[in-house]
Amino acid sequence: MDRLKLSLRYALLVAPIVLTTGNALGRDDGRYANSPLKPWFDSLRSHLGPCCSDADGFAVSDPDWESHDGHYRVRLDGQWVDVPDEAVITEPNRAGRTMVWPVKTAFGIAIRCFMPGSMI
């Protein structure tokens, strides 16, 4: 019985770590290896850390993001998610389109990086 309790305690300690970090791993599969913007995407950082690359982020259509009073939010998986100010990339957007780098955790969707587009 003590062995079972020890196993359950270990599982409860390890589970939050696995659940919060498992989806945060990069997934650059080489699709953009020949893109002239690849080095720039790879160097992008927000105050929350590196964005990883364009393979980890995706473009957001204008109806799926908005700005209000200097703050952003995006619609991901059908729900609006507030973009933390620390996640906003402030350097010029060389890609021209709005991009977001979400991280799915056990607690929901977090935004690692956000790069606003032109909203034309």
Q: Which residues contact 108 (CB under 8 A, 6 or more apart)?
A: 81
Return d(Cα 82, Cα 16) in angstroms, integer.
Answer: 23
Query: pTM, whole model, 2 decimals?
Result: 0.69
pLDDT at 5: 43
Please state the length of the chain: 120
Q: What is the pLDDT of residues 76-110, one digit of tens each?
A: 999 999 999 999 999 999 989 999 999 988 999 99
**Average pLDDT, integer, range 21-49:** 72
Give the DSSP letter string of 34-85.
T-TTHHHHHH-EETTEE---TTT-EE--GGGEEEETTEEEEEETTEEEEPPG
pLDDT at 67: 93
pLDDT at 116: 93
Closest by alpha carbon to 25, among 103, 109, 108?
103
Encoded tokens for 29: 């599969």
Percent of the chain with pLDDT over 70: 69
pLDDT at 37: 87
